[in-house]
């Protein structure tokens, strides 16, 4: 991220020779070999029983990478899927993920000009040389799909060459199936396991990859290897870790934003307590058990200086947002034509103000980290989305060299962007330094700490304006918004010297590069920090901009007295020369057909019913959703059904696509119906699930996900179901009641 920012800002000059030398070293990396295994480059080893072990460089947090990435390799390798095992990849530069950073650069999504091409090429090379491993931005498959296929194809060619040598026949006379290589004419067969020693010694070739029409595994649902252990409880998350002689720590941060510890004391000493740990931002207790640590922490008398956050409140934040828009502050992310002039001349222009609140991540597994410090270095066990940065942060906190830090990444009990942060790691290392040498310390945040001390999804204020002509075309469109920059704060937390004034694309994603035809448009974002810590949250800027855009598109349709579906079709059809618009049309038609758009909903016991539609393009995928709602006489909103259609390019595993879109819809429904973080005098009011509820089974709607066949580029899938659900529900409420809701969470007066 630092390199990507520097590339755009022109502040970094790296010699081309150094980059090429470094990339040569990266490409030469081979996996470490265990007894009986032989490495075939960086991605896989094969043992003498023919078992294929595939390195998975992305973290498993429910998206299925530990099943999908091995299947990608197995497809090209033509091995038996039952003989493929996933293995966490080591920390190595070859597994870098530049895609997540390049996506965030302030460039047009489909920019093909020389500046855009040069910037992306330069950033890609520099980031691969830097070697930062990261899971986020719905980029895992986009990052590994080609290199994992290339690795499988190359290993297959090496095995075939070894078999040809052993059998004394040309390679072209051999066929490969289920991990066995057969000489077609004689019927002689040799297994992968018999060939590993000879094959691994062959120089890896650049072998051709299969055409998608020849896929036997990819494009079809596959069993997920992580499911059985999650069902029966064998799955181990970081919070489940138990080591011999392990200590436990409970932690408490200041009661308000920016609070600093003045003093703390624990008296009298309590059973099992090992140490009281104080820091500027927290106090913690180390004990023999977590319960003892928690009980002792409750007895700590701590005094805090809360002056830093005294003026921070939700009301003050939104007042600052409004003032910034009133002043005309902000960076112009997109401008085409003179939208301001056209809107000023239209007395009948449509205008509306929208707002979304701060949101917590509320992962099911609370934040936790286990650290063991010894003379040999530092070991860290933590659910995380970027092990490279975890290693750097732990080394700095421990005061040791990076190469003396070992990072273990178990499965994550929810990521959603929260585990991109390293605050947990830094604090856990500081706490472990107070423990006896060699004894690991597991630090667990309570749910209250998890919610109150989160880095929140930004609150944002948006003012929308449009001029709609008599035929229902949008002649001018203006989207003005104000809120904090996640990327600026995130970089500042990682490295204060890295903060730049470059525009943060995540603030505007979902508001720019829209597929609709607008006569003129202007999209501006005013960066207002307001003192509240913010972080990446599932679908980031798309999570709120889709609400603003798709709700306001519905308002434009109502002004034009047109059906919301047909209104969108017209806006897309007017740009039919655009491949994106054509794909969006196909997705829009697919969801309308699947949900029986246009067929009246049956009466339901006196409640008001309605359907709402939303279309969102995010992470190179397209999702359209239709929500069906019931509204009671008291104004209670219940979502009964959500139908979604998705174009993600090639659906590598359709079952995972449907599961991820469904899960993201439920995640988005929590935000649409319940989610809000309120702040008064610097203190977060919410603290646990009683006042920050998640959507429960009784509220969950039926969900149908249709996959639209596509020739488009490979898109992300982990987050794309979240952006569109809130506007779809809001639009359905309008269809049912005639009331337009412009603030989340959605509430109606009784």
Q: Which two tokens stand for residue 40?
A: 């075939």
Q: Which helix (H) or strand (E) holds 248?
A: strand 247-253
In this prediction, residue 6 carries a pLDDT of 46
C-beta neighbour count of 307 within 10 angstroms: 12
CA distances from 632 to 572, 600, 607, 635, 670 (A): 35, 18, 5, 5, 19
Cα separation, 469 vs 559, whole angstroms: 10
Q: Please indicate whether residue 128 or residue 447 has the higher confidence score (pLDDT).
A: 447
Mind listing the pLDDT tens digit for each residue in 348-376? 999 999 999 999 999 999 999 999 999 98
Cα separation, 613 vs 565, whole angstroms: 7
Q: Which two tokens stand for residue 421?
A: 């942060």
pLDDT band of residue 461 (cuts 50, 70, 90) is very high
Cα separation, 244 vs 38, whole angstroms: 33
CATH topology of domain 238-307+367-444: Aldehyde Oxidoreductase; domain 4 (3.30.365)
Nearest to 273 by CA among 434, 413, 36: 434
Q: Please indicate whether residue 622 or residue 107 has the higher confidence score (pLDDT).
A: 622
pLDDT band of residue 117 (cuts 50, 70, 90) is confident
Q: DSSP of 380-429, one letter per residue?
A: EE---S-HHHHHHHHHHHHTS-GGGEEEE--B-S--TTGGG--HHHHHHH
Mind listing the pLDDT tens digit for each residue in 231-286? 999 999 999 999 999 999 999 999 999 999 999 999 888 999 999 999 999 999 99
Q: Is the pLDDT of residue 558 over 50?
A: yes
CB 612 within 8 A of CB 627: yes
pLDDT mean over 548-561:
98
Q: Which residues are paired to 624 by β-bridges?
A: 615, 645
Cα separation, 271 vs 286, whole angstroms: 11
pLDDT mean over 14-36:
83
pLDDT mean over 684-713:
96
Q: Is the pLDDT of residue 750 over 90?
A: no
Q: Give the CA count within 13 Å in the CB-facing half-sphere of 569.
A: 12
In this prediction, residue 15 carries a pLDDT of 58
pLDDT mean over 621-626:
98
Mind listing the pLDDT tens digit for each residue in 404-439? 999 999 999 999 999 999 999 999 999 999 999 999
Class for the domain spanning 31-97+132-231: alpha beta
- Measured in whole angstroms, the distance separating CA 310 from the mean position of its chain's CA atoms is 32
Cα separation, 87 vs 419, whole angstroms: 21
| Edge-to-edge strand list for the sheet holding 44-47 | 37-39, 44-47, 52-56, 84-88
Q: Give the CA count within 13 Å in the CB-facing half-sphere of 490.
A: 24
Give the dihedral of Cα atoms 417, 422, 424, 429; nearest 10 deg.
Answer: 160
| pLDDT averaged over every residue in the chain | 94
In this prediction, residue 19 carries a pLDDT of 77
CB 309 within 8 A of CB 259: yes
Buried b / exposed e over 465-493, threshold 16 CB at 10 Å, is bbbbeeebbbbbbbbbbbbbbbbbbbbeb
Q: What is the DSSP letter of 63?
A: S
138 φ/ψ angles, rounded to the nearest 5 degrees: 50, 45
CB 557 within 8 A of CB 565: no
* β-strand pairing of 247-253 with 282-287: antiparallel
Nearest to 53 by CA among 66, 64, 63, 62: 66
Cα separation, 131 vs 143, whole angstroms: 13
- CA dihedral sign, ordered 670, 139, 652, 237: negative
CB 617 within 8 A of CB 713: no
In this prediction, residue 130 carries a pLDDT of 86
> What does the domain layout of the chain look like in residue ranges?
31-97+132-231, 238-307+367-444, 314-359+456-737
Tell me, yes or no, if the two domains 31-97+132-231 and 314-359+456-737 fold the same way: yes
pLDDT mean over 391-398:
97
Q: Which residues are paired to 275 by β-bridges?
A: 286
CB 473 within 8 A of CB 570: yes
Does the pTM exceed 0.85? Answer: yes
In this prediction, residue 2 carries a pLDDT of 47
320 φ/ψ angles, rounded to the nearest 5 degrees: -65, -35
Nearest to 119 by CA among 236, 6, 252, 235: 6
Identify the CATH assignment for 314-359+456-737 out of 3.40.50.150, 3.30.365.10, 3.30.565.10, 3.90.226.10: 3.30.365.10
Mind listing the pLDDT tens digit for each residue in 463-501? 999 999 989 999 999 999 999 999 999 999 998 777 667
- Measured in whole angstroms, the distance separating CA 712 from the mean position of its chain's CA atoms is 21
* Cis bond before residue 72 (omega within 30° of 0): no
Cα separation, 136 vs 144, whole angstroms: 13
Q: Is the pLDDT of residue 657 over 90?
A: yes
Q: Please indicate whether residue 125 or residue 512 has the higher confidence score (pLDDT).
A: 512
In this prediction, residue 124 carries a pLDDT of 87
Cα separation, 560 vs 97, whole angstroms: 45
Least confident of 60-74, 305-319, 599-613: 599-613
Cα separation, 720 vs 655, whole angstroms: 15
In this prediction, residue 7 carries a pLDDT of 45
Q: Is the pLDDT of residue 344 over 70?
A: yes
CA-based angle 487:490:491, to the nearest 5? 85
pLDDT mean over 78-107:
92
Q: Is the pLDDT of residue 10 over 50?
A: no
pLDDT band of residue 1 (cuts 50, 70, 90) is very low
CB 339 within 8 A of CB 477: yes
pLDDT band of residue 3 (cuts 50, 70, 90) is very low
Q: Is the pLDDT of residue 13 over 80?
A: no
Q: Which residues are paired to 457 by β-bridges?
A: 359
C-beta neighbour count of 320 within 10 angstroms: 17
For tokens 């950073």, what's the residue?
101
């Amino acid at each position: 991220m630092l390199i990507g920012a520097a590339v755009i800002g022109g502040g970094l000059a790296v010699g081309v020779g150094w980059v090429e030398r470094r990339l040569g070293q990266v490409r030469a990396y081979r996996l470490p070999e265990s007894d009986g295994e032989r490495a075939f480059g960086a991605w896989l080893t094969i043992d003498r029983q023919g078992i294929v072990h595939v390195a998975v460089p992305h973290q498993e947090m429910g998206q299925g990478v530990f099943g999908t990435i091995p299947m990608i390799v197995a497809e090209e390798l033509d091995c038996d899927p039952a003989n493929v095992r996933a293995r966490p990849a080591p920390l190595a530069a070859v597994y870098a993920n530049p895609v997540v950073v390049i996506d965030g650069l302030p460039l047009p999504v489909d920019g093909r000009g020389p500046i855009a091409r040069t910037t992306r090429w330069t950033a890609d090379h520099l980031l691969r040389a830097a070697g930062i491993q990261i899971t986020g931005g719905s980029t895992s498959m986009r990052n590994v799909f080609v290199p994992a296929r290339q690795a499988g194809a190359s290993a297959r060619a090496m095995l075939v060459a070894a078999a040809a040598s052993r059998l004394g026949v040309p390679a072209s006379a051999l066929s490969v199936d289920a991990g066995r290589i057969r000489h077609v004419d004689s019927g002689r067969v040799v297994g992968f396991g018999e060939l590993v020693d000879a094959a691994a010694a062959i120089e890896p070739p650049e072998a051709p990859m299969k055409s998608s029409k020849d896929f036997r595994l990819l494009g079809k649902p596959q069993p997920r290897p992580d499911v059985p252990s999650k069902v029966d409880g064998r799955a181990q998350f970081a919070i489940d870790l138990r080591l011999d002689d392990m200590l436990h720590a409970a932690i408490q941060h200041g009661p308000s934003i920016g609070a600093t510890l003045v003093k703390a004391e624990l008296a009298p000493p309590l059973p099992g307590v090992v140490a009281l740990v104080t820091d500027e931002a927290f106090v913690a207790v180390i004990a023999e058990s977590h319960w003892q640590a928690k009980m002792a922490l409750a007895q700590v008398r701590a005094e805090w200086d809360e002056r830093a956050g005294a003026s921070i409140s939700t009301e003050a934040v939104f007042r600052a947002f409004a003032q910034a828009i009133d002043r005309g502050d902000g960076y112009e992310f997109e401008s085409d034509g003179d939208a301001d002039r056209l809107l000023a001349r239209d007395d009948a222009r449509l205008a509306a103000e929208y707002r979304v609140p701060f949101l917590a991540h509320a992962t099911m597994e609370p934040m936790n980290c286990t650290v063991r410090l010894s003379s040999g270095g530092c070991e860290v066990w933590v659910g995380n989305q970027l092990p490279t940065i975890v290693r750097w942060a732990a080394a700095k906190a421990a005061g040791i060299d990076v190469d003396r830090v070992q990072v273990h990444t178990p499965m994550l009990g929810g990521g959603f962007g929260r585990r991109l942060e390293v605050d947990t790691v830094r604090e856990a290392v500081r706490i472990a330094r107070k423990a006896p040498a060699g004894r690991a310390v597991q630090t667990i945040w309570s749910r209250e700490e998890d919610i109150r001390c989160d880095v929140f999804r930004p609150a944002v204020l948006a003012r929308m304006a449009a001029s709609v002509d008599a035929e229902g075309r949008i002649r001018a469109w203006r989207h003005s918004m104000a809120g904090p920059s996640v990327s600026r704060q995130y970089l500042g937390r990682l490295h204060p010297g890295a903060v730049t004034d470059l525009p943060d694309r995540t603030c505007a994603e979902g508001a720019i590069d829209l597929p609709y035809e607008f006569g003129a448009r202007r999209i501006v974002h005013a960066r207002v920090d307001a003192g509240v810590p913010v972080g990446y949250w599932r679908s980031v800027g798309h999570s709120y901009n889709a609400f603003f855009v798709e709700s306001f598109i519905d308002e434009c349709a109502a002004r034009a007295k047109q059906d919301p579906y047909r209104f969108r079709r017209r806006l897309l059809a007017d740009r039919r020369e655009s491949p994106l618009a054509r794909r969006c049309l196909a997705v829009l038609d697919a969801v309308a057909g699947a949900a029986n758009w246009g067929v009246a909903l049956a009466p339901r016991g006196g409640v008001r019913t309605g359907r709402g539609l939303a279309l969102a393009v995010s992470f190179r995928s397209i999702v359209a959703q239709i929500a069906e709602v019931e509204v009671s006489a008291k104004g209670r909103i219940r979502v009964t059904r959500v139908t979604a259609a998705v174009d993600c390019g090639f659906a590598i595993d359709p079952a995972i696509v449907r599961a991820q879109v469904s899960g993201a819809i439920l995640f988005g429904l929590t935000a649409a119906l319940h989610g809000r973080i309120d702040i008064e005098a610097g203190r977060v009011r919410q603290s646990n699930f009683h006042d920050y509820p998640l959507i429960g089974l009784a509220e969950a709607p039926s969900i149908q996900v249709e996959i639209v066949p596509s020739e488009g580029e490979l898109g992300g899938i982990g987050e794309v179901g979240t952006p569109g659900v809130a506007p779809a529900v809001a639009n359905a409420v309008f269809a049912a009641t005639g009331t337009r809701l412009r603030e989340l969470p959605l509430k109606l007066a009784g």
